[in-house]
Amino acid sequence: MSRNGQRTPRYSAWSLVRHGLGAGGEWGRAFRHHTPRQAYDVVIIGGGVHGLATAHYLAENHGITNIAVLEKSYIGSGGSGRNTAILRSNYLTPEGVRFYDRSVKLYEHLAADLNFNVMFSQRGHMTLAHNDSSLRTMHWRAEVNKLQGVDSSVIDPGEIKKLVPYMDVSASTRYPILGALYHPPGGIIRHDAVVWGYARSADAHGVHIHQKTEVVGIDVTSNRVTGVRTADGRRISAPVVVNCTAGWSTLISDMVGVDMPVQTFPLQAAVTEPVKPFLDTVVVSGTLHTYVSQTDRGELVFGASVDPFASYSTRGSLDFVEGLAGHVLELMPALSKMRLLRQWAGLCDMTPDYSPIMGLTPVEGFFVDVGWGTYGFKAGPVSGEAMAACIAHGKPPEIIAAFGLDRFEEGRLVGEKGAAAVGH
Amino acid sequence: MSRARPGGSHRLGARPGEVIDRSRTIEFRWNGVTHTAHPGDTIASALAAAGVRVFARSYKYHRPRGLLTADIFDPGAILQVGDEPNVRAAHRLVEAGMDVRSQNTWPSLRYDVKAVNQLAGRFLATGFYYKTFIKPERLWPTYEKVLRRFVHAGEVSPDSEQPYFDKRYAHPDVLVAGGGPAGMAAAVAAARAGASVMLVEQEHQLGGHLRWGDAEDLRCRDELVAAVEAESNIEVLTDSVVAARYDDNWLAVVQRGLPHVAERLVKARAGTLVVAAGLIERPYVFAGNDLPGVMLSTAVRRLLNLYAVRPGSRAVVFTANPEGDAAAADLRAAGVDVVEVDARHGRTVVRATGRGGVEAVELSDGSRIEADLLVTAVGWTAPTSLLNMSGANPGYRPDAARFVPDPAATPAAVIAVGGIAGDGTRDELVAHADAAGREAAARALALAASRAGSADTRDPVAVPQLGLHHHPELFFALPTGGFVDMSEDVSAKDILTAVKEGYDSSELVKRYTTATMGPAQGKLETVNTVALVAHATGKTIAETGATTWRPMYTPITLGALAGRKFEPVRHSPMQPWHTSHKAAPLIAGQWIRPEHYGDPVAEVRNVRQNVGIIDVTPIGKLDLQGPDVAKLLNLLYVNKWSQLGIGRVRYGVMCAEDGVVLDDGVTGRLAENHYLMSTTSSGAGTVWEWAENWLQTEHPEWQVHVTPVTTAYASINVAGPKSRELLARLTDVDLDNAAFGYMNVRTGTIAGVADCVLWRIGFTGELSYELHVPASYGLHVWETLMATGADLGIAPFGVEAQRILRLEKGHLIVGQDTDGLTKAYSAGLDWAVKLDKPDFVGKPELAWQAARGEHPKLVGLRPLDTSVVPEEAAQIISDGGYIVGRITSSRLSPTLGRPICLGQVDAHLADPGTRLTVRLRNGSDTTVEVTAEHAHFDPEGERQRV
């Protein structure tokens, strides 16, 4: 494969064999180092899935390739590498369903599109109901999804037990399981691979990815963005600067004086040592504030809801893992001898209506794709696609029209709170 | 059952430091074969004594693996014990009858079919799965199933028994993590300085490396152990680990080896944390370095001196330090032929070869030595994890070839001692730890004193600075051979490949190759990985840096973290009565309450005809006192509160900032500055936090005191046309309609119980009184009501009957008839929202909503086919199949004899008389008609005002 004059060996089983036999030469770098140019057409701040997908789709769909992605640490070091990699599209509002369904569709073909196996495993997604009111909500979501062509249905404890034999579905537990919303197309993905796949493709298109390059200032002249300044003292000119950060999105926007209604909360997660695979579906329990899946490496990955207080800390707490372990054992008591290997936290930028802020801002040339709360990873591809279109055409495409910053001025908050609040 | 063949014993004669009890022999099974062990043996030492070399097969290539470190971090000895997966067999002591099996082998450890992967290894280079299985897309699920079969781990069984775990809190002045010589010295010094000390040691005995040392080491250990035992102020926890350190020295300690408790999580708040984790020996990377028979010098000395096991018969000892020399000496003393390869003289090992184990060793000078044991002693890794968790980020020191903490950058509440802090002779390290222990005690006691209000007047202890000895930077022989991470099967070549492909930082290499992500959490692997990344990128190790050390230090069980189950159930004081009257339980959040007593329809009819009582104790109740309560109510509720008179009750609705209905309930004014607020049952906690949040963050100047009193009162609703007649027999409150009308509140005595609150309100639509009585008298009042009302036809009713009664009356339930998107106007609460109030939470959003008008509306719905009761959550659809609304509540009304519903519909469909199509769960459609009122029964509310 040769794009933009760069030889990028194509990945396939055949190429693996050739390399194995020593005939393939070097694989080549999936993403290269470059000396920063003095000017780019577009500077994207944030080398996570959103920033890299935006770069990829700008190049792929719009032919814009003179792009720099500036990442203050390493690519995927923020939310993209810290989330629990769950994908689903069983949302509640038509806007939410349409948006996330597009994302799942893009994810379904992403490996082939990027020539990089992102290991999207559509192993099913199950949201448990522990009381009659949440069972009623599951029925609601199932009915809505059915009418919108999204595969989801309510299943009873017997069916849950068949899908997850380790689940305690007896009536004697503290929060008995009454049923679940089952969404077969949902699943998990190798989140780092999504980042690398987009980075590799963007790189092959000629996009410059600058890691360990922190933006410390954004220059604005006559209400128009002119470039950015980096911690190593460079000034990079660009007529378009895109804020694709999380955790620090308000600080970046502050650099141009654009106020964001965003509060940052940590969200904690943890992983166990591997055991032989026994859990095929993603299991979510809103009542127990827990979601569980098992990776192809055999580890159980756990997540929860955001911490109850705003903070920039990415350290875990003991309180969290204690509660988590208790709730996991409530669901699957047989796991008490499994060991917790590692815990961490990511930062979630929460907006008042649990919906992102995407598109233009009052400062010309300054675009935002922020406020992604706990659902940013799920939306990575569709956000990149839509932001690329927004930048290329200077106006937001229909699919993100409702997510503009001006909605907070005009009181047109998006109604995904009910849907987002239902969990992962 | 087969038995291990006798004769192959590698057990030596008695050793001075051995920890086994030779007077007793116990039996256990290893892959179905019975073996023997002595108490004190680990699983691994017992098997090694029987001549077992291969313990496991590796992750990817299924290569045979044996002991490497012979301690808890050994990647080669992770085994299944009964139903427990991933047991660290070089740490876990043998117990009689144990069923030990190798993991990830088929059909057997010896003949493993997947070992063919070794042949295919060249095609399975790092990240191979990212490069293949891409097309055709439909085959990926099949590929994935195969990948999942390769998972390298033990198994859990669905009916695995759950042992007993518990927790404990501890508040030691000083907690010492590590019971080697430095840890013991620090503990003793701290205790002598007056501190209470908890000394935590991961292994089964105190002593650290002194245990496998020479006679002088053993004498020193005996002295230190005796000193520890002499201090009553020191609590020793062996077979225990400080798994994590959180802010303010909040420490997670897992304690094992207790009688009747599988594991105990000790949550310790320590004044000072002394980190005495010692040093971990660093493996050397060279071709064949994972062959069974390649061991670290510390592993060999553990086996020889603690367990009296001879690990081989002909050894090559590759040594760069005195510990390696000592291992050679120990081996010789045990009758092993030893060839020393001294790195200090420029000789190195480049390769080990053999089938299923070491058979020969190749050196850098081209020579080849036959041996069945290759011992490496190239240097040390500081397991700084607890220091990193404390915010100190130890830096790499090339002269010492390890990461070393900077005492100045370490928080005051944390002190490092022993090998992790620096180098020295045994006596220097003990002296340093002694001073550090005294300083740790002084800091902890000063902290305690300052909390008690005293000033810190102590003189700081002079803690000598430890130096660093020279250690060679011996990480790998050639960057192309051998394994960096044995548990993940990551080779040195994989690291180089990853860097070449662009994954050229420690973090990206970790994520791409999975090196350091295994059970040892990088303790054995990180420095070698970083060294290889540095080599490949041309940077220094210091520039390259390590990945983040996160909790846990050693993986800990979910059982230990969870402890005993504490998921409390809330019951009202009337629960004994409900239980004895066969109430069907309903789980409602934390509460379990009666859903019905057998026949909810009969319960409804009895309320409409006679009188019924329902236990409504879970209703949230907040006692509000102070001169500014009305201001708070005006802020939180959308309606007006300034004019509420004493003795009056009003229904109120709260919205969040986005205008979405948050909660509802009635609030009554008991006195000038005293109100009682009720909330929904599920909203009790939320509304309390909500009120406090607004008071504390936005209006700290308001004088309002909020006290949650939900469980201080038992609450009973007495409903039905005969409720006044019943209550009149039991209360001193004047119940006459003129004296105590609808939407009023009184306080008085009921059934002899003083200080009761009576609200005259009507959720059921009947004449009714809600009684809030001091909780301890709840059962008494309930039973008295039942007895007194017998002639009036009194009967209890449950939540289901109440739901039907309220639906007949068209009263909404927040969270059922509203959802996360329903703003006040959509809930039909137009009458309540007072946009002319200066401010209230959600006002801007509601003003916008009112101005636009195009919002869904909650309406009453009447199914035309009276034989069909639409399911709740059934969708209302347009002709084109679009969703235009949904059924939120639906029941067959016993009073009206037909189905009744509430539903949310789009604005243009909300006019009375509009006919709508409902899609039922079975796929068929039915028609409903919008009614003029939400109430299907007595819309004027005459029955509740009598």
Range B385-405 average pLDDT: 94
Chain-chain contact of B507 with A74 (C-beta, under 8 angstroms): yes
B136: preceding bond cis by omega (within 30 degrees): yes
Residues 6+ apart with CB under 8 A from B859: B828, B902, B903, B904, B905, B910, B930, B931, B934
B552: preceding bond cis by omega (within 30 degrees): yes
Contact list, B850 vs chain A (CB under 8 Å)? none
DSSP result, B848-864: HHHHH----EEEEEEES
Instruction: Give domain status of residue B792, yes or no.
Output: no
Chain-chain contact of A136 with B550 (C-beta, under 8 angstroms): no
The per-residue pLDDT for B7 is 41
A149 touches chain B (CB under 8 A): no
Strand ranges, E, within B607-673 = 612-615, 620-625, 649-655, 661-671
Q: Which residue has the higher pLDDT, A266 or B520?
A: A266
Last residue of a domain, one of B345, B378, B411: B378
The per-residue pLDDT for B646 is 97
β-bridge mates for residue B65, sequence order: B56
pLDDT at B77 over 90: yes
Residue A334 CA, distance from chain mean position = 31
Q: Which two tokens stand for residue B637?
A: 């509720």
Q: Are residues B935 and B882 in the same domain?
A: yes
pTM of the full predicted structure?
Answer: 0.92
A156 touches chain B (CB under 8 A): no
For B862, phi then psi, to 5°, come to -120, 110
How close, in Å, is residue B287 to chain A by CA atoms? 18
For B512, phi then psi, to 5°, come to -80, -40
Last residue of a domain, one of B563, B586, B609: B563
> pLDDT tens digits, residue range B788-815?
999 999 999 999 999 999 999 999 999 9
Q: Are residues B289 and B275 in the same domain?
A: no
Q: Determine how β-strand A153-155 pairs with β-strand A179-183.
A: antiparallel
β-bridge mates for residue A346, sequence order: A267
Q: Are residues B95 and B146 in the same domain?
A: yes
Domain A35-83+191-261+353-420 maps to which CATH number in 3.40.50.300, 3.40.50.360, 3.50.50.60, 1.10.10.10?
3.50.50.60
For residue B210, give the CATH number of its domain. 3.50.50.60
> Quick one: pLDDT band at residue B143, thresholds 50, 70, 90?
confident
Number of domains in chain B: 5
Chain-chain contact of B558 with A353 (C-beta, under 8 angstroms): no
The per-residue pLDDT for A420 is 43
Chain-chain contact of B133 with A117 (C-beta, under 8 angstroms): yes
Range A321-325 average pLDDT: 96
Residue B520's nearest CA partner among B546, B485, B481, B558 is B485
The per-residue pLDDT for B701 is 97
Q: Which residue has the higher pLDDT, B98 or B463?
A: B98
pLDDT at B438 over 80: yes
Least confident piece of the model among B80-84, B458-462, B580-584, B746-750: B458-462
Instruction: Give domain status of residue B527, yes or no.
Output: yes
For B121, phi then psi, to 5°, come to -50, -40
Interface test with A, best of B131, B145, B242, B269 (most A CBs within 10 A): B131
Chain-chain contact of A339 with B86 (C-beta, under 8 angstroms): yes
The per-residue pLDDT for B389 is 94
- Which among A197, A324, A334 is the nearest to B158, CB-wise? A334
Residues B901 and B859: their CA atoms lie apart, in Å, by 9
Helix pair B600-609, B799-808: axis angle to 10 deg: 60
Contact list, A290 vs chain B (CB under 8 Å)? none
Range B360-381 average pLDDT: 96
Tell me which residues of chain B, numbers 914 to 933, contact chain A at a CB-CB cutoff of 8 Å: 919, 921
Tell me which residues of chain B, numbers 645 to 664, contact chain A at a CB-CB cutoff of 8 Å: 657-658, 660
Range A157-163 average pLDDT: 97
> pLDDT tens digits, residue range A186-242?
999 999 999 999 999 999 999 999 999 999 999 999 999 999 999 999 999 999 999
pLDDT at A424 over 50: no
Check if the beta carbon of residue B765 is closer than 8 Å to that of residue B581: no
Chain-chain contact of A275 with B156 (C-beta, under 8 angstroms): yes
Return the domain boundaries, chain A: 35-83+191-261+353-420, 121-187+263-350
Residue written as tokens 């939410």?
Answer: A96
The mean predicted confidence, pLDDT, of chain B is 94
How close, in Å, is residue A186 to chain B by CA atoms? 14
- In Å, what is the CA distance from B687 to each residue of B449, B661, B865? 39, 12, 41
CB-count exposure of residue B718 (10 Å: 0-12, 13-18, 19+): buried
Chain-chain contact of B921 with A334 (C-beta, under 8 angstroms): no
Q: Are residues B127 and B169 in the same domain?
A: no
The per-residue pLDDT for A359 is 97
Residue written as tokens 């300085």?
Answer: B193
% residues pLDDT > 90 (chain B): 83
% residues pLDDT > 90 (chain A): 76
Tally the C-alpha atoms within 13 A of residue B839's C-alpha that lie toward its C-beta: 6
Instruction: Give domain status of residue B770, yes or no.
Output: no
The per-residue pLDDT for A15 is 79
pLDDT at B690 over 80: yes
pLDDT at B132 over 90: no
How close, in Å, is residue A255 to chain B by CA atoms? 27
Range A355-379 average pLDDT: 95
The per-residue pLDDT for B159 is 85
Residue of B nearest to A298 (CA): B151
Range B164-181 average pLDDT: 97
The per-residue pLDDT for B128 is 82
Instruction: Give domain status of residue B321, yes or no.
Output: yes
For B394, phi then psi, to 5°, come to -55, 140
Q: Are residues B351 and B441 in the same domain?
A: no
Range B720-749 average pLDDT: 97
The per-residue pLDDT for B518 is 87
Q: Are residues B8 and B115 in the same domain?
A: yes
Residues B714 and B770: their CA atoms lie apart, in Å, by 10
Residues A132 and B587: their CA atoms lie apart, in Å, by 8
Q: Are residues B919 and B850 in the same domain?
A: yes
Q: What is the ipTM of this complex?
A: 0.94
Tell me which residues of chain B, numbers 331 to 390, contact chain A at a CB-CB cutoff of 8 Å: 389
Range B680-701 average pLDDT: 95
How close, in Å, is residue A246 to chain B by CA atoms? 19
B555 touches chain A (CB under 8 A): yes
pLDDT at B116 over 60: yes
Tell me which residues of chain B, numbers 673 to 712, contact chain A at a CB-CB cutoff of 8 Å: 682
Check if the beta carbon of residue A47 is closer than 8 Å to that of residue A211: yes
> pLDDT tens digits, residue range A25-36?
677 899 999 999
The mean predicted confidence, pLDDT, of chain A is 91
For residue B935, give the CATH number of its domain. 2.40.30.110
Chain-chain contact of A26 with B163 (C-beta, under 8 angstroms): no
Chain-chain contact of B156 with A322 (C-beta, under 8 angstroms): no
A166 touches chain B (CB under 8 A): yes
Q: Are residues B123 and B12 in the same domain?
A: yes
Contact list, A136 vs chain B (CB under 8 Å)? 816, 872-873
Tell me which residues of chain A, numbers 330 to 389, contact chain B at a CB-CB cutoff of 8 Å: 330, 333-344, 352-353
How close, in Å, is residue B446 to chain A by CA atoms? 26
For residue B510, give the CATH number of its domain. 1.10.10.1100
> Quick one: pLDDT band at residue B566, thresholds 50, 70, 90?
confident
Tell me which residues of chain B, numbers 785 to 804, contact chain A at a CB-CB cutoff of 8 Å: none
Q: Are residues B271 and B390 in the same domain?
A: yes
Contact list, B149 vs chain A (CB under 8 Å)? 277
User: What is the dotted CATH code of the domain comprising A121-187+263-350?
Assistant: 3.30.9.10
% residues pLDDT > 70 (chain B): 98
The per-residue pLDDT for B123 is 66
> pLDDT tens digits, residue range A389-416?
999 999 999 999 989 999 888 877 776 5
Contact list, B600 vs chain A (CB under 8 Å)? none
Q: In which domain, by residue range, is B515 found? A: 475-563
Contact list, A13 vs chain B (CB under 8 Å)? 132-133
Tell me which residues of chain A, numbers 95 to 134, contact chain B at a CB-CB cutoff of 8 Å: 108-109, 111-112, 115-117, 119-122, 130-133
Q: Which two tokens stand for residue A32?
A: 């290269």
Q: Are residues B140 and B172 in the same domain?
A: no
Residues B148 and A77: their CA atoms lie apart, in Å, by 26
Contact list, A326 vs chain B (CB under 8 Å)? 561-563, 565-567
A408 touches chain B (CB under 8 A): no
Interface test with B, best of A339, A342, A414 (most B CBs within 10 A): A339
Q: Are residues B426 and B413 in the same domain?
A: yes
Q: Are residues B204 and B133 in the same domain?
A: no
> pLDDT tens digits, residue range A248-303?
899 999 999 999 999 999 999 999 999 999 999 999 998 899 999 999 989 999 99
- Which among A140, A196, A275 is the nearest to B85, CB-wise? A275
Q: Which two tokens stand for residue B808?
A: 């007949």
B321 touches chain A (CB under 8 A): no
Instruction: Give domain status of residue B106, yes or no.
Output: yes
> pLDDT tens digits, residue range B34-72?
999 999 999 999 999 999 999 998 888 889 999 999 999
Residue B271's nearest CA partner among B107, B452, B488 is B452
Range A414-421 average pLDDT: 54
Last residue of a domain, one of B563, B592, B618: B563
Instruction: Give domain status of residue B621, yes or no.
Output: no
> pLDDT tens digits, residue range B580-618?
999 999 988 889 999 999 999 999 999 999 999 999 999
Chain-chain contact of B151 with A122 (C-beta, under 8 angstroms): no
Alpha carbon dihedral B867, B869, B870, B872, in 10-degree steps, equals 180
